Structure 1
Amino acid sequence: MTQQNANSHASSSAQRRLGDPIVLTLSIGFILLFVGLSLYDIEMVANAIGNGFAWTARTLGAYFQLLLLITFFVAMGVAFAPAASAKIGNLDKPELSTFKWLSIIMCTLLAGGGVFFAAGEPVYHFVVTPPAFPTEAGTPEAIAGALAQSFMHWGFLAWAVLGSLTAVVLAHAHYDKGQPLQPRTLLYPVLGERIMSGWFGGVVDALCVIAVVAGTVGPIGFLATQVSFGLHDLFGMAEGFATQLIVLVALAAVYVTSAMTGIQRGIQILSRFNVFLALVIAAVIFVFGPTLFLTNAFTQGFGTYLTSFFTMATMTAETAPAWWMKWWTVFFFAWFIGYGPLMAIFVARISRGRTIRQMILAVAVMAPIATTVWFTLLGGSGIHYQLTGAIDLTEALNNFQFDVATLTVAQALPGGTVMALAILLLTTIFVATTGDSMSYAIAVVGSGHDEPNALVRAFWGIAMALMAGILLYMGSGQISVLQQFIVLTAIPVSLVLLPSLWTGPQAAYAMARAQGLSARRVLDHDHA
Structure 2
Amino acid sequence: MPQSSDSTSDSTPQPKGLRALGDPVVLILSIGFIIAFILLSLYDLDMVANGVSAGFAWTAVTLGSYFQLLLLATFFIAMGLAATPAAKAKIGNLDKPEMSTFKWLSIILCTLLAGGGVFFAAGEPVYHFVVTPPALDTEPGTAGAVAGALAQSFMHWGFLAWAVLGTLAAIVLAHAHYVKGQPLQPRTLLYPVLGERLMSGPLGGVIDALCVISMVAGTVGPIGFLSTQVSFGLHELFGAPDSFATQVAVLITLAAVYVISAMTGIHRGIQFLSRFNVFLALAIGAVIVLFGPTLFYINTYLSSMGSYATNFFAMATMTADTAPDWWMQWWTVFFFAWFIGYAPLMAIFVARISRGRSIREMIIAVAVIAPIATTVWFTLLGGSGIYYQLEGVIDLTDALNNFQFDVATLTVAQALPGGTWMALAILLLTTIFVATTGDSMSYAIAVVGAGHDDPSPKVRAFWGLAMALMAGILLQMGAGQVGALQQFIVLAAVPVSLILLPTLWNGPQAAYAMAREQGIIE
The 1-side partners of 2:328 and 2:281 are apart by 31
TM-score (structure 1 length as normaliser): 0.96
Residue aligning to 2:78: 75
Conserved 8 A contact 2:262-2:461: yes
Quote the residue 1:513 is aligned against.
516
Structure 2 partner of 1:315: 318
Q: Report if aligned partners of 1:16, 1:448 keep a CA contact under 8 Å in 2.
A: no
Letter of the 2:485 partner, please give it. Answer: L
CA offset at residue 18 of structure 1? 2.6
* Deviation, structure 1 residue 116: 1.1
Report the residue type matching 2:188 in the other structure: T
Structure 1: distance between partners of 2:232 and 2:315: 34
Asked if 1:97 corresponds to 2:90, the answer is no
Look up the match of 1:436. Answer: 439
Contact 2:14 2:20 in 1 (8 A): no
What per-residue deviation string (whole Å, max 9, x for no partner) do you get for residues 345-372 of structure 1? 0000000000000001100000000000
Residues in 1 aligned to 2:50 and 2:241: alpha-carbon distance in whole angstroms: 31
CA contact (8 A) 1:79 1:361 kept: yes
1:12 deviates by 7.2
Partner of 1:215: 218
Letter paired with 1:330: V
Work out whether residues 117 and 433 of structure 2, in 8 Å CA contact, stay in contact via their aligned partners in 1. no
From 331, 339, 342, the counterpart of 2:345: 342
Amino acid at match of 2:103: K
CA-to-aligned-CA distance 1:403-434 (integer Å, 9 cap, x gap): 00000000000000000000000000000000
Question: Aligned to 1:463, which of 439, 455, 466?
Answer: 466
In the other structure, the counterpart of 1:281 is 284
Letter in 2 for 1:210: I
Could you list the per-position Cα deviations for residues 283-305 of structure 1 after superposition, in whole angstroms to 9, with x for gaps in the alignment? 11011111111111100001100
Q: Does the Cα contact within 8 Å between 1:72 and 1:161 map onto a contact in 2?
A: yes
* Distance in 1, Cα, partners of 2:17 & 2:472: 31
**Aligned residue in 1 for 2:4:** none
Structure 1 distance, partners of 2:17, 2:256, is 27
Relative to structure 1, the CA distance from residue 14 to residue 170 in structure 2 (aligned partners, 3 Å threshold; closer, same or farther) is: farther
How far apart in 1 are the matches of 2:328 and 2:276? 36
Task: Name the structure 2 match of 1:30.
Answer: 33
The 3 A distance-change label for structure 1 pair 323 and 240 is same
Partner of 1:412 in structure 2? 415
Answer whether contact 2:91 2:175 (CA < 8 A) is retained. yes
Is 2:68 aligned against 1:85?
no
Out of 271-280 and 111-120, give the one that drifted further.
111-120
Q: State the 1:10 CA deviation.
A: 7.9
Match of 1:174 in 2: 177
Once the two structures are TM-superposed, the CA of residue 90 in structure 1 deviates from its matched residue by: 1.0
Aligned to 2:263: 260
SS at match of 2:444: helix
**Residue 487 (str. 1) matches residue 502 (str. 2):** no
1:393 aligned to which of 390, 396, 400: 396
Matched, 1:195 2:202: no
Q: Which amino acid aligns with 1:41?
A: D
| Separation in 2, partners of 1:395, 1:50 | 23
Aligned mates of 2:165, 2:431 — CA distance in 1: 22
Residue 155 (structure 2) pairs with residue 159 (structure 1): no
Q: Is the 8 A contact 1:169 1:186 kept in 2?
A: yes
Q: Which residue of structure 2 lines up, in the alignment, with residue 525 of structure 1?
A: none
Post-superposition Cα deviations, 1:422-471, rounded to whole Å, max 9, x if no partner, equal 00000000000000000000000011011101111000000000000000
Unaligned runs of 5+ in 2: 1-11
Instruction: Identify unmatched segments of 5+ residues in structure 1.
Output: 1-8, 520-528
Determine the structure 2 residue equivalent to 1:382: 385
1:21 aligned to which of 20, 24, 36: 24
Whole-Å Cα distance in 1 between the matches of residues 21 and 434 of structure 2?
A: 26
Give the Cα–Cα distance (whole angstroms) in 2 for the partners of residues 210 and 32 of structure 1.
12
Contact 2:116–2:157, Cα closer than 8 Å, also in 1: no
Report SS of the residue matched to 2:345: helix
- Count of residue correspondences: 511
Q: Does 1:235 align with 2:233?
A: no
3-state SS of the aligned residue for 2:143? coil
Per-residue deviation, residues 245-280 of structure 1 (Å, max 9, x unmatched): 000000000000000000010000000000000000
- SS at structure 2 position matched to 1:178: coil
Q: In the alignment, which residue of structure 1 is the partner of 2:6? A: none
Distance 1:504 1:364 in 2: 15
Deviation (angstroms), 1:115? 2.3
Counterparts of 1:195 and 1:99, CA distance in 2:
38
1:129 maps to 2:114: no
Counterpart CA distance in 2 for 1:115 and 1:436 is 16
Q: Is the 8 A contact 1:444 1:452 kept in 2?
A: yes
Structure 2 counterpart of 1:205: 208
What is the DSSP-based 3-state SS (H/G/I as helix, E as strand, rest coil) of the residue aligned with 1:28? helix
What's the % identity of the aligned pairs? 79
Decide which of 104, 115, 118 is 1:115's aligned counterpart: 118
Does 2:81 correspond to 1:62? Answer: no
Cα distance in 2 between the residues matched to 1:436 and 1:12: 23
Q: Which residue of 1 aligns with 2:302?
A: 299
Deviation at 1:237, TM superposition (A): 0.4
Q: What CA distance in whole angstroms lies between the structure 2 residues aligned with 1:170 and 1:347?
A: 10
Distance apart, 1:112 and its partner CA? 3.2
CA distance in 1, matches of 2:24, 2:521: 44
Deviations 1:313-342 (A, max 9, x none): 000000011110010000000000000000
Task: Quote how far apart the aligned CAs of 1:240 are.
Answer: 1.0
Q: How much has 1:17 moved relative to structure 2?
A: 3.1
- Of the structure 1 ranges 462-471 and 106-115, higher mean CA displacement relative to structure 2 is found in 106-115
Match of 1:150 among 150, 153, 168: 153
RMSD (Å) for aligned C-alpha atoms: 1.2
One-letter code of the match for 2:280? L
Task: Name the CA shift for 1:12/1:502 in 2 (closer, same or farther; >3 Å).
Answer: farther
Secondary structure of 1:141's aligned partner: helix
Q: Identify the match of residue 473 of structure 1 among 473, 476, 484.
A: 476
For the 8 Å contact 1:162–1:340, the answer to whether it is kept is yes
User: Does the 8 A contact of 2:113 with 2:433 survive in 1?
Assistant: no
Kindly provide the CA deviation profile for residues 81-125 of structure 1, in whole angstroms up to 9, marking residues without a partner as x. Answer: 110000001111100110100000000112233321000000000
Identify the residue that residue 8 of structure 2 maps to in structure 1.
none
What is the alpha-carbon distance in structure 1 between the residues aligned to residue 14 and residue 443 of structure 2?
22
